[in-house]
Amino acid sequence: AEAWLDWRAPAAALERQVRAFNPWPVADAELNDGRRLRIWEAAVLATPAAAAPGTIVAASRSGIDVATGDGVLRLVKIQPPSARVMPAEAYLAAHSVAGAAFVA
């Protein structure tokens, strides 16, 4: 239960949580469409959050940017169920996150 990310927390706290749970038990998150992802690496961006916590504000080759309670967290390495750890860029090549948000 401690490994679930609460997107209402500040981006810096979530980034520390991701580091603390790597390599075990690994931070978990769930999209509002039911897809679950394990978060292996994340980075805090200096951008202020202009959306509700958990909202995906950008998805690019650099990663998936998610609004948090204070700031933006970039997901760099993720793992979908039954797959290997991959850069967010590789996940985005096969999966769309348009209109998706993480469950807070």
Q: What is the pLDDT of residue 84?
A: 97
Question: How far, CA to CA in Å, does 26 sit from each of 47, 51, 89, 99?
Answer: 25, 26, 19, 25
> What is the rounded average pLDDT of the residues 30-39?
95
Q: What is the pLDDT of residue 34?
A: 93
Q: Is the pLDDT of residue 104 over 90?
A: no
Q: What is the pLDDT of residue 2?
A: 83
- Give residue 83's pLDDT band: very low, low, confident or very high (50, 70, 90): very high
Q: Mind listing the pLDDT tens digit for each residue in 37-78?
A: 999 999 999 999 889 999 999 999 999 999 999 999 999 999
Q: What is the pLDDT of residue 15?
A: 98
Q: Is the pLDDT of residue 99 over 90?
A: no
Q: What is the pLDDT of residue 51?
A: 94
Classify each residue of 64-103 as buried b or exposed e, where b means 16 or more C-beta atoms within 10 Å of its C-beta. bbbbbbbbbbbbbbbbeeeeeebbbeebbeeeebeebbbe
